[in-house]
Amino acid sequence: MSLIECRKLSRIYNRGAEEIRPLDQLDLRIDAGGFVALMGPSGSGKTTLLNLLAGIDRPTSGELEIGGLSLGDLSRKELADWRSEQVGYVFQLYNLVPVLTAYENVELPLLLHPISSGERHRRVSAALDVVGIADRHSHYPRQLSGGQEQRVAIARAIVTEPTLLLADEPTGDLDRESATAVMELLSRLNKEQGRTVVMVTHDAKTAQYADVLLHLEKGRLIEQEEMAS
Amino acid sequence: MKRIIRTLPFVIKQIIRSPIRTTLTLGGIAIAMFLFSFVESMRDGVTAATTATAEDATLVVYRENRYCPFTSNLPEFYSKKIERIEGVANVVPVQIMVNNCRASLDVVTYRGIPEGDLEKVLEPGWRIEDGDSASWMRRGDAAIVGEALAARRGLSVGDSFTAAGITVFVSGILESEAPQDRNVAYVRLPFLQESMKRGGTGSTVTQFSVRVNDPTTLDVVANAIDETFEHDEFPTSTRSEKAFVGQAAKDIIELVGFASWLGWGALFTVFALVANAIIIAMRDRIRDHAVLQTLGFTGSLIGAMVIIEGALLGLAGGAIGVFAAWLVTRIGRYSMTMEGLNVEISSDPFILVIGITVALALGVLAGIVPAWRVSRLEISQCFRAV
């Protein structure tokens, strides 16, 4: 069953007189529970597609449906509410809030949810346990290594139990060992918790963790590759 | 609203965990609000000392065209003539002596009054807080000292102190609602006249304090007194006590009026400090705001958080500054004295409330524009700006 459907999806920017089309009439389906890697050269539209899937950017034309909901029809506030419930986003540069501890960073998205502080504590602790960083819960981002920061960022992304986990080059800033650990974690979240993962990457080794590789070029899908499990 | 309440600890952490920025901002706000509150305290003191009320029933009879206690000399026997004027309840001759002719925050004013007239000259609502009036009657050099003067000079019953070359014994501390009574030392008239003989005052007094039966006849009685002595060797000028203070302390009132511009300047400084702190913080946190939006925080929620941050900075800095100013005026018990008249620097707790409310309002105002701008930013714009 498909979770994501893009039909003739385009995103156009105007830079002065120049028109830029990072996404051009893209048609795409991603199944629920899948692990998809988006690959392609710089400017191919990978990150633009990821931002559209996250609802942090809007398409210029075409249709984008996620879980049967047309994102183009939602207001800014509705989109924000949808994001807080359905999407977990992992950035390349972790983007943890520097004045908050690991625990508080993970707790942040739960502040939007009407749950008790006890329930919040339970969920944050569980998320930190899943990413294996519970012992560092009181550390600030500056006291953590890059790999540890990315684990905290992943915990923050999964703490609301979203349907869709989006990752923009999650290992791009990590050494090989940390990158492997992060990818195994994402893979485990996909396999064990059934979360749909869409990840942008340049790295072929990282892409091997995915079930499906989508190759983009000039805003179009040029190749779809099923990976052997 | 519930979301705003849930995010409040996050806003507080952002303030507390940026200690240098917060300390500098709070320090600036506290200093500016200290200045504002101090100016307000002075204005409040001037208002209390010079604003006439319907209950005012006291007139001050002074020598015409004289503005200083050293040059206003009136014969003591005038009191008998004044007593006979219709509408007068009682008359007390008062000799004034100050230790300092200049404007100062610590002037000692002696008021010499006849032995049996202490209760007549005091404004209603007084009481001897410590000591008693009987010992004042018994001892020639005894003084009943106003509470503010006693606090300022650290005086208590049994102490002796010297000012203007006159040494007196403290026999009581006077608590009163009238600023003039709180800031003077009441001594016996013959003692003060004797002590001042070197100045050649003889049996003259500086002024008469006249209480009228009916406050609505204040002007009528004042005119009657002045008409009585119009053709005498020592013509008089009679006004209500508040008007008298207003006239005598005109220079102080003008200075306080000018100082109110400083108060406005202080408020503008608070606004600028909070706005500057918020704008710089917003620039530093542009990535954080993009992350918050990605997590599902709406623009309006982030805007509300910015306004709350401004309000908290204004509130905390304002509270520190206003409370410090209140403490200084409370402990110092300062009064601005000119020509023997006192304009107290008020320490009314209401100024605390006003100051903190103003600081809070300025904090909110300073946060509005940055909040509006932040709430309208698109996530992609934020990330591009980093």
Q: What is the pLDDT of residues A208-224, one digit of tens each?
A: 888 889 898 888 888 88
The distance of A80 to chain B (nearest Cα, Å) reads 4
Nearest chain A alpha carbon to B19 = A99
Question: Percentage of chain B surpassing pLDDT 70?
Answer: 94
Q: Say yes or no for a CB contact (<8 Å) between B294 and A56.
A: yes
For B132, the token pair is 């008693």
Q: Chain B: residue nearest A51 by CA?
A: B380
Spatial CA neighbour of B352 closest among B44, B5, B118: B44
The C-alpha atoms of residue B326 and residue B202 are separated, in whole angstroms, by 44
Asked if the Cβ–Cβ distance from A81 to B294 is below 8 Å, we say no
* A89–B contact, CB cutoff 8 A: yes
Of A76, A81, A95, the CB nearest to B287: A95
A177, A178, A200 from A146: Cα distances, Å: 11, 8, 18
Q: Is A15 on the interface with B (CB under 8 A)?
A: no
DSSP string spanning B8-45?
A: HHHHHHHHHT-HHHHHHHHHHHHHHHHHHHHHHHHHHH
pLDDT band at A229 (very low <50, low <70, confident <90, very high): low
A–B: how many Cβ contacts below 8 A? 64
User: Residues A152-196: pLDDT tens digits?
Assistant: 998 898 888 888 989 888 887 778 888 888 788 888 888 888 889
Q: Is A54 within 8 Å of chain B by CB?
A: yes
Which of B294, B305, B377, B381 to substitute to test the interface with A, most A CBs within 10 Å?
B294
Main-chain phi, psi angles of B367, to 5 degrees: -85, -15
Q: What is the distance between the alpha carbons of residues A168 and A90, in angstroms, rounded to a whole number?
A: 6
Contacts of B64 (CB under 8 A, 6+ apart): B226, B235, B236, B237
Give the model's confidence band at B200: pLDDT under 50 very low, under 70 low, under 90 confident, else very high: very low
Q: What is the pLDDT of residues B276-301, one digit of tens each?
A: 888 888 888 888 888 898 999 988 89
What are the structural domain ranges in chain B?
2-49+251-385, 65-234
Q: Give the confidence band of A69 by pLDDT, cuts at 50, 70, 90.
A: confident
Q: What is the pLDDT of residue B176?
A: 84
Q: Is it the case that residue B272 has pLDDT exceeding 60?
A: yes
Residue B6 has a pLDDT of 85
User: Per residue in B321-354, pLDDT tens?
Assistant: 999 999 998 888 887 777 667 777 877 889 899 9
Average pLDDT over chain A, rounded to an integer: 87
Band (A21; pLDDT cuts 50, 70, 90): confident
B109 touches B97 (CB < 8 A): yes
Rounded to a whole number, what is the largest CA-CA distance in chain A? 55
Highest mean pLDDT among A99-103, A165-169, B248-252: A99-103
Dihedral angle of Cα B375, B376, B377, B380, to the nearest 10 degrees: 110
Residue A83 at interface with chain B, using a CB cutoff of 8 Å: yes
Tell me which residue in A81, A91, A99 faces B18 most closely, judged by beta carbons.
A99
Q: How much of chain A, in percent, has pLDDT values that exceed 90?
A: 18
What is the pLDDT at residue A105? 95
- φ, ψ for residue A44, nearest 5 deg: -80, -10
Which pLDDT score, from 0 to 100, does residue B102 have?
61
- Residue B292 to residue A108, Cβ atoms within 8 A: yes
* Mean pLDDT within B192-211: 73
In chain B, which residues have their Cβ closer than 8 Å to the Cβ of A51? 379-380
Under a CB-based contact definition with an 8 Å cutoff, are residues A62 and A8 in contact? yes
pLDDT digit string, tens, across residues B147-176: 888 888 888 888 888 887 788 899 899 888
pLDDT of residue B317: 93
Is residue B103 pLDDT above 70, yes or no?
no
d(CA B107, CA B334) in angstroms, rounded, equals 10
B112-152: pLDDT as tens digits: 888 777 777 777 777 888 877 778 888 888 899 988 888 88
pLDDT at B199 over 50: no
Q: What 3-state class would DSSP assign to B341?
A: strand
Inform me whether the pLDDT recorded for A108 exceeds 90.
yes
The amino acid occupying position A223 is: E
- Strands A212-217 and A2-15 turn out to be unpaired
Q: Report CB contact under 8 Å: A80, B293.
A: yes
Band of pLDDT at residue B104, cut at 50, 70 and 90: low
Q: What is the mean pLDDT of residues A46-68?
A: 88
User: What is the mean predicted confidence (pLDDT) over B252-258?
Assistant: 81
Cβ-proximal residues to B368 (8 Å cutoff; 6+ apart), any chain? B307, B310
Q: Residue B292 and residue A83: Cβ atoms within 8 Å?
A: no
A13 phi, psi to nearest 5 deg: -110, 150
Strands A220-226 and B166-175, bridge-based pairing: unpaired
Please check whether residue A46 touches B, CB under 8 A. no
- Can you tell me the mean pLDDT for B200-204? 61
pLDDT at B106 over 50: yes
Nearest to A28 by CA among A56, A69, A68, A63: A63
Identify the structural domains of chain A with CATH numbers, from first to last: 2-226 (3.40.50.300)
Q: What is the mean predicted confidence (pLDDT) over B101-109? A: 70
Q: What is the pLDDT of chain B when averaged over all its residues?
A: 84
A108 vs B18, B295, B300: nearest CB: B295
Cβ atoms of residues A219 and A44 within 8 Å: yes
From A76, A99, A111, residue closest to B14, measured CB to CB: A99
* A-chain residues near B298 (CB < 8 A): 76-77, 80-81
Interface of B with A (CB under 8 A): 2-3, 6-7, 10, 13-14, 17-18, 287-288, 290-300, 378-380
HSE-up of residue A116 (Cα within 13 Å, Cβ side): 3
- pLDDT at site B151: 86
Model pLDDT, residue B197: 65
Average the pLDDT over each of A23-37, A173-187, B204-218 and give the range with the smallest value.
A173-187
What distance in Å separates residue B19's CA from the closest CA in chain A? 11
pLDDT tier for residue B98 given thresholds of 50, 70 and 90: confident
| ipTM score of complex | 0.87
pLDDT value at residue B236:
92
With beta carbons under 8 A apart, name residues in chain B contacting A85.
Answer: 296
pLDDT at B339: 67
